[in-house]
């Protein structure tokens, strides 16, 4: 049944060349763990992407309950955690996934570094990778404030004080990110917008560039 459905669509839209171009190509010998056990390090980028997808999906469900204002943020998270069916699982996935995805990304970066894959012609993809790295750290920072409990509040105070200690422009940066003089209502809405719209948008655009370049250039050769 699926085959005839597929054929019906394919006759009209000619989708076979599209997905063949994206998905139908051979894995080089030197990145295949079935041939060389140590080649499993080449899976780290793909595993990082898998975790990014988990973060996006679990985050989308969290926004069904989360309320980004200082009176309700903590209560909405508490409600989600203790009253909503599977809420504790969805929040747990997002919470633990947030740490795991950074660890995985770091391992992927180490693989790229130690196999020298940042060298020509892949310099631009290394630079895009660095931008991705900062966006991911930004997602961690902004997400940490959202539960609006003591840990979130004081952790953000500390990080923004660190930002404020930068010579000359520190004070300006701190007030810009704070949305004023203190970590308060403006900071929470600002961090929420950054966490669910600005940074994920930037991340998806950068990942599109990352994957485009990987397809164009192929995975780097064996050592």
Contact residues: ligand HEM, CB under 6 A: 42, 44-46, 48-49, 52, 105, 108-109, 111-112, 115, 117-118, 122, 125-126, 129-130, 132-133, 136, 207, 210, 214, 219-220
Q: How far is the CB of 22 from ligand HEM (least distance, A)?
A: 13
Task: Quote the CA–CA distance of 120 and 100 in Å, as a whole number.
Answer: 30
For every residue of 108-154, DSSP letters joined together read HHHHHHHTTTTSTT-HHHHHHHHHHHHHHHHHHHHHHHTT-SHHHHH
Q: How far is the CB of 17 from ligand HEM (least distance, A)?
A: 23
The CA–CA distances, whole Å, from 8 to 4, 22, 23 equal 6, 21, 21
Q: Quick one: 133 exposed, middle or buried, by C-beta within 10 A (0-12, 13-18, 19+)?
A: middle
Task: Please say which residue, 53 or 176, places its beta carbon nearer to ligand HEM.
Answer: 53
Task: Please say which residue, 125 or 174, places its beta carbon nearer to ligand HEM.
Answer: 125
Q: Which tokens hold the place of 220?
A: 């780097």
| Secondary structure class of 223 (helix, strand, coil) | coil
Task: Please say which residue, 108 or 190, places its beta carbon nearer to ligand HEM.
Answer: 108
Q: Cβ-closest residue to ligand HEM? A: 129
Task: Please say which residue, 133 or 198, places its beta carbon nearer to ligand HEM.
Answer: 133
Task: Quote the CA–CA distance of 53 and 151 in Å, as a whole number.
Answer: 27
Task: Please say which residue, 190 or 210, places its beta carbon nearer to ligand HEM.
Answer: 210
Q: How far is the CB of 13 from ligand HEM (least distance, A)?
A: 27
DSSP letter for 45, please. Answer: H
Q: How far is the CB of 117 from ligand HEM (least distance, A)?
A: 3
Q: How far is the CB of 214 from ligand HEM (least distance, A)?
A: 5
């Amino acid at each position: 049944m699926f085959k005839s459905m597929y054929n019906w669509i394919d006759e009209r839209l000619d989708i076979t060349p599209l997905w063949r171009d994206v998905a139908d190509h051979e894995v080089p010998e030197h990145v295949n763990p079935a041939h060389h056990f140590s080649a499993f390090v080449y899976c780290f980028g793909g595993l990082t992407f898998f975790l990014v997808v988990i973060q996006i999906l679990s985050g989308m469900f969290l926004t069904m309950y989360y309320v980004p204002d200082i009176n309700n943020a903590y209560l909405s998270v508490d409600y989600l955690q203790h009253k909503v069916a599977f809420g504790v699982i969805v929040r747990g996935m997002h919470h633990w996934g947030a740490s795991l995805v950074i660890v995985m990304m770091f391992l992927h970066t180490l693989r790229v570094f130690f196999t020298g894959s940042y060298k020509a012609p892949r310099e631009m993809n290394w630079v895009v990778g660095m931008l991705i790295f900062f966006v991911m750290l930004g997602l961690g920072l902004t997400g940490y404030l959202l539960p609006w409990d003591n840990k979130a509040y004081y952790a953000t105070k500390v990080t923004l004080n660190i930002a404020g200690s930068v010579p000359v422009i520190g004070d300006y940066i701190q007030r810009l990110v704070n949305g004023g003089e203190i970590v308060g209502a403006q900071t929470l809405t600002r961090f929420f917008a950054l966490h669910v719209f600005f940074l994920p948008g930037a991340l998806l655009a950068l990942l599109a560039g990352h994957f485009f370049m990987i397809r164009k250039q192929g995975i780097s050769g064996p050592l």
